[in-house]
Structure 1
Amino acid sequence: MTRILLVDDDTELTALLQEYLSDEGFGVATNTDGRAAVAAAVASSVDLIVLDIMMPAMNGIEVLQRIRRQSQVPVLMLTARGDDIDRIAGLNLGADDYVPKPCSTGELAARVRAILRRSGQPAGTAELAPIRAGRLVLDPGNRTAEWDGHLLDLTGTEFSLLEVLARKAGQLVSKQDISKQAFGKPLTPYDRRIDVHISSVRHKLGLRQDGQSRIQAVRGQGYQLLLD
């Protein structure tokens, strides 16, 4: 089993990512101290490190510097959204990739798999398993979606949202679960991002034969993807 170490002081996000990656077939450990990442890299006890930049005591850039002095273990950096300075610094120091926070679990898993494939490591038991929901087929590894054999033009966020619904097609998914799994953060009051992205995905999926949307809202609860 591929071993991943998540290093981040955001314990809520880390717990969410750990649960998702474990379900995807990875062995996942967590820590809030960057020094643990250095120790794991030196001991060759993990196959990939997911490392947050903004941490107390020792930030991610310093941790990455120390890792690269002694190990070439793949490192995926978590950066503040829009912070190009940290992103460039991390890549220049030898980070394999980066994901801006808050991130969706699906996007992070796809980036992890891509890095592992490049490094010749196993990329999880669910890597090649497509998600099928009626005429909808999603490829989590390549983050592509097809409807009735035609490629859907989805943004990364739209794919993450549709993946959450497709995995539980025909079932109600709460807004809180959608927010955590698609956006990587709990739902907050007055947050309308889910509704905005749902509207766009609905348009791209088109209508059912009965004229209804393929994504139905249950007022005050969440959404469900309807099968034809």
Structure 2
Amino acid sequence: MKLLLIEDEPKLAEYLRKGLSEEGFSVELALNGIDGLHLATQGQHDLIVLDGMLPGIDGLAVLAALRQSRNTPVLMLTARTQVEDRVRGLQAGADDYVLKPFAFSELLARIQGLLRRAQGARSSGEVTQLRLGELEMDLIRRRAQRAGQRLDLTAKEFNLLSLLLRRQGEVLSRTELAEQVWDMNFDSETNVVEVAIRRLRSKLDQPFERPLLHTVRGMGYVLEDRGA
């Protein structure tokens, strides 16, 4: 497994690089946002560990730029403890967060969890192709298309759509979506689910004549083809 570590604190970066290498990972290191974004977009990595506060380009800007072209899982590191800061990162496409200071064992467990999730279809023999009418998803290549037109999805949008597609026809609540996609307990003051649904709908439905993603008032969301 190849990891990209983008961390501007040299001592911490070297500590993590060494520790992850000892765990069997191939680790590429960048000490600022500019170099990190270049490596992230030009190389092939199984996962990116991204510090939120970086010189040159900060972590959120790196993440936003990366999500324009890549769905690589991203684990963010942050010293900011405010819920709003983490929500902004999740909305921008981060797959998980680790708060500084952290134990290496926790970071390793989070990395392994994200990698298992990304590689689960390969190792478990699960369905790797999902379909609903003209909508198709390839879970291995992490690609989605509708009517032959590729959908440019962030990692979170891809995970959200795949969950809805796996359980097509079933109404999923905001609480369940938050738990399944973001691994977080639902907070009624957090609109991360609504924002993600709105962005997904703009890509999945708005360019086409018939919507697939529907809101069930007071209950949640359902993906289904209701016909012409």
Q: What TM-score do the two structures reach when normalised by structure 1? A: 0.50
State the Cα deviation string for residues 96-141 of structure 1 (Å, max 9, x = none): 10100111111101000000111117xxxxxxxxxxxxxxxxxxxx
Q: For the residues of structure 1 that align with 2:41 and 2:81, how far apart are their CA atoms?
A: 31
Q: For the residues of structure 1 that align with 2:18 and 2:40, how far apart are their CA atoms?
A: 22
Contact 2:8 2:54 in 1 (8 A): yes
What's the counterpart of residue 58 of structure 2?
A: 59
Q: For the residues of structure 2 that align with 1:119 and 1:36, how far apart are their CA atoms?
A: 25
After the TM superposition, which parts of structure 1 deviate over 4 Å for at least 4 consecutive aligned residues? none
Gap change, CA 1:43 and 1:57, over 3 Å in 2: closer
Q: What is the root-mean-square deviation of aligned Cα atoms in Å?
A: 1.4
User: Any unmatched runs of 5+ in structure 1?
Assistant: 122-228
User: Any unmatched runs of 5+ in structure 2?
Assistant: 121-228
Give the aligned residue type for 2:32: D
State the Cα deviation string for residues 146-178 of structure 1 (Å, max 9, x = none): xxxxxxxxxxxxxxxxxxxxxxxxxxxxxxxxx
Say how many residue pairs are matched.
120
Give the aligned residue type for 1:35: I
Give the aligned residue type for 1:26: F
Aligned-partner SS, 1:119: helix
What's the counterpart of residue 27 of structure 2?
A: 28
What's the counterpart of residue 105 of structure 1?
A: 104
Contact 2:67 2:93 in 1 (8 A): yes
Contact 2:7 2:50 in 1 (8 A): yes
Aligned-partner SS, 1:56: coil
Residue 66 (structure 2) pairs with residue 71 (structure 1): no
Aligned-partner SS, 2:98: strand
Give the CA deviation at 1:34. 1.4
Aligned-partner SS, 2:8: coil
Give the CA deviation at 1:49. 0.8
Q: What TM-score do the two structures reach when normalised by structure 2? A: 0.50
What's the counterpart of residue 50 of structure 1?
A: 49
Q: For the residues of structure 2 that align with 1:37 and 1:47, how far apart are their CA atoms?
A: 15
State the Cα deviation string for residues 48-84 of structure 1 (Å, max 9, x = none): 1110011112110001000001110111000115132
